[in-house]
Structure 1
Amino acid sequence: MSSALAQAKPDFATGSGFWKAVGIPPRGPELHAVLKQGIPYATYGKLASAAGLDRKELAKYVVIPIATLQRRAKQGQFKLEESDRLYRFAEVLKAATDLFEGDQHQARKWLLSPVQGLGGARPAEMVATSAGTEAVLDLIGRLEHGVFA
């Protein structure tokens, strides 16, 4: 990889680099305000790119119908519930990237593959609910600490 390309690629190994690259505050009052107001549509493309997914594929995982996605593009932002699902996807993507020590390819592969620790579900498909997201993040935490059961 050329040094110019390496410099252009955001550093997802650090928390602030990831969150800045996708355009979502990681925590606190600023995050709550953005979610309530609605994540800007431009963030959607950044998140899809960070995940290595096309926009339609990301829409499937965050349960946003294509027609709704087109309306949000015109409106310029997502509604609260959609913003929450986008944040949950970003949170899981960041945790998976951390699990694989910054290796985005491995993180994406893991997110899109059936995982035994999730009953054979794909982690990316579980972010549609807060309970599913919690299960994925819990599993990632256990894997990081070497607890497999």
Structure 2
Amino acid sequence: MSQNPVRKLWERVGLPASNEFILIQEIEYGFSLNLENQTAKELDIPQSLLLELISIKPSHFSRRKISDKRTSLESERLVRFIRVLDSAIKLMGGDSQEAIKWLVAPALNMNGQSPASLICTETGALEVMQLIGRTRHGVFS
């Protein structure tokens, strides 16, 4: 049985994948900004693209370097992105680069918006997850 790509990524960047309650506490406290660097490195993408994918303005990110903490909202966005990315990676047969390309490309069945542009909210992320599920099962809408 193959490992869950998100859990594997979470483990590589140091998130508590096996305990949701600890994860919730860490989200509320705010992750270290180093987590962004580590995540971008693990995905082999520029940090600027990761910030765009999780809807964090580079100027906000730069200001946070002083405290080395991100807000709980920003931490939640990173976790949400990782969850959606997991499903997109599965959809793309385990290829994280193809999953990221799919996330940033406009989707006809999302009014021409990219899936990535919708995942900054929970409702948008649920829509993207439903699209991934429909696509995986061959249901085109």
TM-score, normalised to structure 1, is 0.81
- Give the distance between the partners of 2:59 and 2:6, measured in 1 at CA: 32
In structure 1, list runs of 5 or more residues that go unmatched.
1-10
The residue matched to 1:141 in structure 2 has which SS? Answer: helix
- Give the distance between the partners of 2:51 and 2:3, measured in 1 at CA: 22
Deviations 1:47-105 (A, max 9, x none): 22344431222222322222210122231221111111111111111111111121122
Does the aligned pair in 1 maintain the 2:6–2:82 contact within 8 Å?
Answer: no
2:130 match: 138
Does the aligned pair in 2 maintain the 1:35–1:80 contact within 8 Å?
Answer: yes
In structure 2, list runs of 5 or more residues that go unmatched.
none
Q: Does 1:35 align with 2:35?
A: no
Q: Does 1:68 align with 2:44?
A: no
Q: 1:110: how far off?
A: 0.5
CA RMSD of aligned residues (A): 2.1
Deviations 1:2-50 (A, max 9, x none): xxxxxxxxx9864431221233334620211111011121111122234
Does the aligned pair in 2 maintain the 1:95–1:140 contact within 8 Å?
Answer: yes
Poorly superposed stretches of 4+, deviation over 4 Å: none
Does the aligned pair in 2 maintain the 1:13–1:101 contact within 8 Å?
Answer: no
- What residue identity is the alignment partner of 1:20? E
Tell me the number of residue pairs that the alignment of Structure 1 and Structure 2 aligns.
139
**Percent of aligned pairs sharing the same letter:** 30
TM-score, normalised to structure 2, is 0.85
- Residues 105 and 57 from structure 1, CA distance in 2 versus in 1: closer, same or farther, beyond 3 angstroms? closer
